[in-house]
Amino acid sequence: MSGRRGSAAIGTRVRGDRRTGVTARPSRWLRGARIVWLALLAALLARVLAGNREALADLARVDRPWLLVVAFALSFGQLALSASFWVRALDATGYRVRWPTALAVTARSVPARYLPGSVWYTMSRGAMLRATGVGLGALAVTALLESVLTVLISLGLGGALLGVAGRLPGRELTGVAWVVTLGVVTAPPVLNRVLSWLARRRGATAPTLSWPDHGALVAWMTAFWLLSAATFTVYLHAFGLDLPEPSVVAGAFLVAWAIGFLTPIAPQGAGAFEVAVAALLVGGADGPLIIVAAAFRALIGLRDALAFGWGVSRSPSAPVVVRPADPQVRPARR
């Protein structure tokens, strides 16, 4: 759940990893398609840079640099909220992991986000937590919950914000409809069926969430995405761009992120996210806006480098408290 593709992509043909319970290794054709996509993306980026030199030179001066500092500080909250989600999800499966432990594991795993593929970040966290005594089933359920909820909530919140701002047909009514839809698809009776179907496809035991667990996990995921959207919105307003109101920027970020996540040939959503966010904000492929949106990855990369340094500095020999708890997730009926 970090800023980009921290969980296994749904529907990707993969092989299992026995150590973490998380799947990996996308098919050969998908790897080839990603290489072609990146080559085309590099060519497009070079063309955009060449055709917008003057505009980009103006943007490089940054109108409000202090907003970049604020956005950078807010980005660290994403790691904290991601760790909180994992702590609560593991608690629901019967394992109580200390939040500082989960945060250190999250920080030490961030370099895996930059490896080709979409599952290495989750696998890294899973492997480290597996070494502390967390069961494979609990790790698989947590990864599954993160994958499903991150897409549903980012799309739901983004659609609601855009609808209320009048950026979707139906204006405010569309925003209300998105909120209602989000509530329905994430309710335990519906979400448990989705989780059961996905678990059966992966040969795992299907989890069944209770209402208290459901409410807590949705709350943590909602907080994560609201903070993520706020971070991007603050970042974008640091530049001299003609932007709509902040709620529209936040909604566009959330929907564009989901589009990038669900584009299997775009590693980390590269290209798909930037084009989608520009289309949602200005109605077309605006070169300077695409470049600034892409540069957001540099800010997150700097955050990840500092977080990784902090995580490595934590003593690996420090005692880890993983206590069995009363299982809150029950096997679903076959």
Structure tokens at 94: 């019967």
By DSSP bridging, strand 330-331 and strand 207-208 are: antiparallel
Q: Where are the domains of the chain?
A: 15-331
pTM summary value: 0.76
- Given a contact cutoff of 8 angstroms between Cβ atoms, the answer to whether 315 and 79 are in contact is no
Strands (E), the chain: 15-16, 23-24, 95-97, 207-208, 322-324, 330-331
For the residues of 62-88, what is the DSSP string, one character each?
Answer: -S-HHHHHHHHHHHHHHHHHHHHHHHH
Please give the C-alpha separations between residue 51 and each of 47, 48, 184, 291, in angstroms, as whole numbers.
6, 5, 46, 12
pLDDT in tens, the chain (334 residues): 544 444 333 333 334 444 444 444 456 655 555 555 455 555 555 555 555 555 555 555 677 889 999 999 999 999 999 999 999 999 888 888 899 999 999 999 998 887 766 677 888 898 889 888 888 878 888 887 888 888 888 988 898 888 877 776 555 555 566 667 766 766 777 777 777 776 666 665 656 667 788 889 989 999 999 999 999 999 999 987 788 889 999 999 999 888 877 766 556 656 678 888 888 888 766 667 888 888 898 899 999 999 999 988 875 544 344 454 444 444 443 3
